[in-house]
């Protein structure tokens, strides 16, 4: 009995607490570059909050949430990990409002993105002139 207790003390706590990676495909993400994978990926991010969320090779298209300014919300301590940086992409769908961000990571320390290409598709975003002035002014005032 004493031997078992001693072994338990030698195993780091983080090794006991680490959960297996959550795979976005297990939540319905397709990764074909045409299917909107937003809902499936957000479900995977919610399920894997604080752990690893894995993206197999593919192009994952996402759109902004209704009446929101982001496509996907990432929780503190979450790692987004792609299988291969050159062949695993998270892409914001074209014609989103210019104010829509691909990822919402505010107040979320210790977020890591590994082997995953992010494409905000900025060249194809729609721009409302009043929105452009407002967003541009906010960005300039922060810098």
Q: What is the pLDDT of residue 90?
A: 92
Q: What is the pLDDT of residue 14?
A: 42
Q: What integer pLDDT is reported at residue 19 of this predicted model? A: 64
The structure's pTM equals 0.72
What pLDDT, on the 0 to 100 scale, is given for residue 111?
93
pLDDT of 118 reads 87
Distance from the first to the final alpha carbon of the chain? 61
Question: What is the reported pLDDT for 67?
Answer: 62
pLDDT in tens, 52-61: 999 999 999 9
Residue by residue, DSSP assigns the chain as -HHHHHHHHHS-HHHHHPPPPEEGGGGT---EEEEE-HHHHHHHHHHTTTSEEEE-SEEEEE-PPTT-SEEEE--TT-EEEES-TTTEEEEEPTT-BTT-EEEE-TT-TT-EEES-EEE--GGG-B--HHHHHHHHHHHHHH-
**pLDDT at 41 (0 to 100):** 96
* Sites in the chain below the pLDDT cut of 50: 1-16, 129-143
The phi, psi pair for 41, rounded to 5°, reads -70, -40
Which pLDDT value is given to residue 133?
37
Q: What is the C-alpha separation between 103 and 101, in angstroms, rounded?
A: 6
């Amino acid at each position: 009995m004493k031997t078992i207790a001693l072994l338990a003390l030698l195993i780091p706590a983080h090794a006991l607490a680490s959960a297996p990676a959550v795979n976005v495909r297990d939540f319905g993400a397709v990764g074909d570059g045409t299917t909107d994978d937003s809902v499936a990926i957000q479900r995977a991010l919610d399920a894997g909050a604080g752990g690893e969320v894995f993206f197999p090779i593919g192009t994952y298209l996402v759109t902004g949430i209704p009446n929101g300014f982001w496509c996907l919300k990432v929780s503190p301590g979450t790692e987004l990990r792609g299988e291969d940086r050159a062949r695993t992409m998270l892409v914001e769908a074209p014609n989103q409002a210019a104010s829509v961000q691909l990822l919402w990571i505010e107040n979320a320390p210790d977020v890591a993105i590994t082997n995953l290409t992010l494409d905000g598709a900025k060249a194809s975003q729609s721009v409302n002139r009043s929105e452009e002035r407002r967003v541009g002014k906010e960005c300039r005032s922060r810098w």
